[in-house]
Amino acid sequence: MDLKLQGQAALVMASSRGLGKAVATELAAEGCHVMLTGRDAEALEGTRRDIAAQAAGKVAACAADMTKAADIKKLVAATREQLGSITILVNNSGGPPGGDFDQLDDNHWQSAFELTLLAYVRTIREALPDLKKNGGRIINITSSSIKQPIPGLLLSNAFRMGMLGLGKSLANELAADNILVHTVAPGRVATDRTIYLDQLKADKRGVSLDQIRDETKKLIPLQRYGDPQEFARVVTFLASPVCSYMTGSTTMVDGGMVKGY
């Protein structure tokens, strides 16, 4: 299937590694011009070279800190200047630290808010003038915690729900501008973040990382962790013009792990 993505300009947040990198790689392979971003300029340039080597479109990079409004303004301006008017915005961020309620102070809550919710609001605000010109797509990457809380991840459980409300509200507000909005929630996908979370569980229980992984796989009907590319393919379809009659949707990419309807 031709996804009709050739020549479109996509900004993919937190894309130097993990799910963001996988999404950027898929979009570039389909012919999108892609802007990568992350805080580590050296790692970002390495990722840019890797993706550009197999891309059908242009691949650019701009270092930015998602928690800083000035950096987001600079990033969106650089995307527009180097790749043209933005038609696809993929919001993504590293998750907040783990912890139970009595382990978290005001600084933890404020930092998590700025990273996982306010940063998404700011990128949408800056990119919206471009998206309104010719229509476009906003993809907000969240977590399976929007469907069921994850033990030990209170900050994620709280703020990811705010992102769910944001996406559904924007889908209604922006439909008249032909801007479609999607929320995509990964389950256990094999990334550094997943290793971090599994190691937290292992340390808390005093067991091995392999034991946690084996136990977790038994909770997933497909009996394995997902590959980042599998997740990225779903996002790429949702970001494409071919996906034209879906908006306000929440899509789980979790191997069937979440048991709720």
Residue 151 inside a domain? The answer is yes
Q: Which residue has the higher pLDDT, 171 or 94?
A: 171
In the chain, pLDDT over 90 holds for what percent of residues?
Answer: 87
pLDDT, tens only, 127-136: 999 999 989 9
What's the 3-state SS for 131-182?
HHHHCEEEEEECCHHHCCCCCCEHHHHHHHHHHHHHHHHHHHHHHHHCEEEE
Question: In this structure, which amino acid lies at residue 239?
Answer: A
Q: Is the pLDDT of residue 200 over 90?
A: no
Q: What is the pLDDT of residue 246?
A: 97
User: How many residues are listed for the chain in this entry?
Assistant: 261
Instruction: Note the pLDDT tens digit of each residue in 42-51.
Output: 999 999 999 9
Distance CA 61, CA 78 (A): 9
Residue 261, pLDDT above cutoff 90: no
pLDDT band at 98 (very low <50, low <70, confident <90, very high): confident
Query: Could you write out the DSSP letters of every residue in 112-133?
Result: HHIIIIIHHHHHHHHHHHHHHH
Tokens of 13: 């947040």
Express each pLDDT in 8-29 by its tens digit.
999 999 999 999 999 999 999 9
Q: What is the mean pLDDT of residues 223-239?
A: 97
- When the pLDDT of each residue in the chain is averaged and rounded to a whole number, the result is 95
CATH number at residue 77: 3.40.50.720
Residue 193 pLDDT grade (very low, low, confident, very high; cuts 50, 70, 90): confident
Write out the residue range of the structural domain in which residue 143 sits: 9-187+226-252
Domain annotation covers residue 202: no
Contact by Cβ (8 Å): 11, 123 = yes
* Residue 206 falls inside a structural domain: no
In a domain, 196, yes or no: no
Number of compact structural domains in the chain? 1
The answer as to whether 240 is a domain residue is: yes
Residue 160 covered by a domain: yes
| Res 83 pLDDT > 90 | yes
Task: Using pLDDT thresholds of 50, 70 and 90, give the confidence band for residue 97.
Answer: confident
| pLDDT above 90: residue 196 | no
